[in-house]
Amino acid sequence: MNILYKILLREIRESRNISQSKLSRLTDIPQPTISCMENRTLVCDLDRLDRIAKALGVSIKDLFVEL
Domain around 55: 5-66
Name the residue with higher pLDDT: 53 or 44: 53
Name the average pLDDT for the chain.
93
For residues 16 and 31, give the distance between their C-alpha atoms in angstroms, rounded to a whole number: 17
* Mean of pLDDT values over 57-62: 96
Question: Are 50 and 65 within 8 A, CB to CB?
Answer: no
Alpha helices, DSSP H, located in 1-67: 9-15, 20-27, 31-38, 46-56
pLDDT tens readout for residues 10-52: 999 999 999 999 999 999 999 999 999 999 888 889 999 999 9
Query: How many structural domains compose the chain?
Result: 1
Q: Identify the bridge partners of residue 5 per DSSP, sorted by sequence position.
A: 66
Please give the pLDDT value at position 2.
67
**CATH code where residue 27 lies:** 1.10.260.40
Measured CA to CA, the distance from residue 44 to residue 40 in angstroms comes to: 9
Residue 3, pLDDT score: 61
